[in-house]
Chain A
Amino acid sequence: MDTINSSIPWSLIMPIIVLQLILAVVGLVSLYKAEAIRGPKWLWVIIILCGNILGSVAYFIIGRKDAS
């Protein structure tokens, strides 16, 4: 494992993790502020937290109701 760890350029991997975090946080903030969404909020919280980027993307595409 040591060889793997040392061979991973963490400075390049970190941005990916940060990006995922940003997407998840933005998704959660938008969910918190949203007045109308499809489906229960708690379900979307789980999806956003567990679904990596796909979870957040799914929320933005399916969960948000843009027109009222």
Chain B
Amino acid sequence: MRQFLLFFRKEMLEMGRSFKWLWVPLVFLMLGIMQPVVTRFMPVILESSGNMPKGMTITIDPPSGMEVMAQTLGQFNSVGLMILVLSIMTLISGERQSGVSQMIFAKPVSYLSYAAAKWAIMLSLVTASFVLGYAGAWYYTVQMIGSVETAAALKAALLYMLWLWFTGSLTLFMSSLMNSAAGIAFVSLGAAILLSMASTWLPRYAYSPGFLPEISVQWLQASEKPTGDLGAAILCLMCMIFFFMIAAYQVKIRKSNV
């Protein structure tokens, strides 16, 4: 426990000094705010661009607050996911590659504490960034578009956060297996995108963490409430534990690279 805190404190310090604690949450906040703002001003922007034939009026049904929230999740799932993977991809591989790990692991340290601190910092960054971005989107949607149903929005947020945790765990898992940063990002992002795309082909009874973004969007939009969220959430948590165990083992058997 003491070593976990030591490792965690070091990770916090590193993320602070590399400005990650500032820019990752800020980017999520921007992503969250931009969607309602852009939606609100879309008719104005189209009108003022002025290449419409005279007399033609555009009639866009103003989207509901819930729809805009769903679109925000869509933003998080593309740009947000990429930012997330890129900001944590070298968390484990970096120290092994540079050689610092040689000095760390020559000391009587616990590999489990080491891996746990990596997971804890990842979860902290992901949670803080997402909560900030989602809260921003919520506030702006209420201010500019329309009302948001509290219970549904909270449930959607919870399920979506699980999905981000899953992707973060997947990235750390790849980081424990591979050395090249580009490779880690490519495989993690690829796998996450594939999983969430597969949710449209797979039958509903197959529980996959990839269903989570889909389910949370449905919580916001669909008239009938989705099913299978519990199964997907449980499977997602199990995958995270599995990734963590393998990564901790990898840290133990591959202490350094140089």
Contacts and interface: CB of A to CB of B under 8 A. Distances in A.
Direct contact of A and B (CB under 8 A): yes
Interface of A: 4, 7-9, 12-13, 15-16, 19-20, 22-23, 26-27, 30, 53, 56-57, 60-61, 64, 66-68
B83 A57 contact: yes
A7 B29 CA distance: 24
A4 B48 CA distance: 9
Interface string B134-173: 0000001001100000000000000000000000000000
Given A12-B140, A15-B33, A16-B37, A67 B97 contact: yes
A16 B27 CA distance: 11
B34 interface: yes
Interface in B73-127: 83, 86-87, 90, 94-95, 97-98, 100
Contact of A16 (B18, B33, B97, B98): B33
Contacts of A66: 18, 90, 94
B175 to A, nearest CB: 13
A53 B98 contact: no
Nearest to A30: B19
Given A12-B37, A12-B144, A16-B30, A61 B19 contact: no
A49 B83 CA distance: 20
B22 A26 contact: yes
A57 to B, nearest CB: 6
Interface of B: 18-20, 22-23, 26-27, 29-30, 33-34, 37, 41, 44, 48, 83, 86-87, 90, 94-95, 97-98, 100, 140, 143-144
B37 A13 contact: yes
A27 B18 CA distance: 10
Given A12-B140, A19-B30, A57-B27, 7 more contacts: A12-B37, A13-B37, A19-B26, A23-B27, A53-B26, A60-B23, A67-B94
B34 A56 contact: no
B144 A9 contact: yes
Given A13-B37, A53-B27, A68 B44 contact: no
B37 A22 contact: no
A2 to B, nearest CB: 12
A26 B37 contact: no
Contacts of B44: 4, 7
Given A67-B97, A68-B98, A26 B19 contact: yes
Contacts of B97: 67
Contacts of B20: 60
Nearest to B95: A67
